[in-house]
Amino acid sequence: MVPFILLVVIIGSVLFHIFTPWYSTPIASNWSNIDSTIELTFWMTGGVYVAVLGFMTYCVIRFKNKDGRRAAYEPESKKAEVILTVLTTIGVAGLLAPGLIVWDDYVSPPEDAMPIEAMGQQWYWSFRLPGEDGILGTTDARNINADNPFGMNKNDPNGQDDILIEGDDLHLEHDKPVKFLLRSIDVLHNFYVPQFRAKMDLVPGMVTFYWIRPTVAGNYEILCAELCGVGHHAMRGFVQVDEADAYKDWLNEQSTFKALQEQARLDNNKELAFNKSN
């Protein structure tokens, strides 16, 4: 029964991988290379898996117990060690090389990529886009307060026209490269859109980044893929990939840092006036 069970495990594992219902979501960005790398990993490790179990099945049949048969004790084999070392080295190199090539491209955005900051905090997402100057202003965590949730540097002229989106959906323009700048103001988070095949940790105190080119218009869910507290399951958002005209219309409806500061100043003055009158 043992060889039969091993064969069932081998065949069942391969069929499960080929016909599994839990396959990757349709891709909506330029990162098909990540899918290809994952597939290469599956097939290389799967080949080793089948080879090892196949060899075990052969050994069970070939060297089954028989009267008068004695096992030979051979604790070392230089030949086997060399063969296994060479094969393992080739296998590891075959797994690492494609991943390193894809990673190098993943963190090497094109010059025309639009910088967009994604800021994570317990438990929602906020975003910052450059204004007409195309440059994001500087920030500092020490500046964060109720009136300045992004920690913007009020003295940086490049930040005055930055577009701030707090706890709302992000929109991207179809087929335009985007460089995501990722930062957290509390604990570890992870910015993940499954259809983009792109994810990366947000580490407090530093800015991580990667780039994508959205290739399919639509609405996609943003997930936090790093356990970040009791509200981790609810830390979700949405990114909408629009055609050029729809994207411009959405962009024109957003508020800049300067406009929000002026509105906050007006609100404070009204509140002071109201308090004095009472």
Comparison of pLDDT for 7 and 73, the residue scoring more: 7
Comparison of pLDDT for 18 and 206, the residue scoring more: 206
CB count, 10 Å around CB of 256?
A: 17
User: What confidence score (pLDDT) does residue 269 get?
Assistant: 67
pLDDT exceeds 80 at position 130 = yes
DSSP 42: H
User: pLDDT, tens digit, for every residue of 175-187?
Assistant: 999 999 999 999 9
User: pLDDT, tens digit, for every residue of 65-94?
Assistant: 888 878 778 888 888 899 989 998 998 898
- Distances in whole angstroms, Cα of residue 83 to Cα of each of 55, 79, 80, 90, 208: 16, 6, 5, 11, 41
pLDDT exceeds 80 at position 264 = no
pLDDT exceeds 90 at position 164 = yes
CB count, 10 Å around CB of 221?
A: 12
CATH superfamily of the domain spanning 114-270: Cupredoxins -  blue copper proteins (2.60.40.420)
Q: Specify whether the backbone of 213 is left (phi greater than 0), alpha (psi in -120 to 50) or beta.
A: beta
The whole-angstrom separation of Cα 77 and Cα 245 is 69
User: What confidence score (pLDDT) does residue 275 get?
Assistant: 67
CB count, 10 Å around CB of 58?
A: 12
- SS percent in the chain: helix, strand, coil, step 5: 45, 25, 35
CB count, 10 Å around CB of 142?
A: 7
- Distances in whole angstroms, Cα of residue 232 to Cα of each of 41, 123, 124, 207, 229: 30, 7, 9, 21, 5
- Cβ partners under 8 Å of residue 60, min gap 6: 2, 3, 6
The whole-angstrom separation of Cα 204 and Cα 167 is 19
The residue ranges of every structural domain in the chain are 2-63+77-106, 114-270
**209 membership: H or E segment, kind and range:** strand 208-212
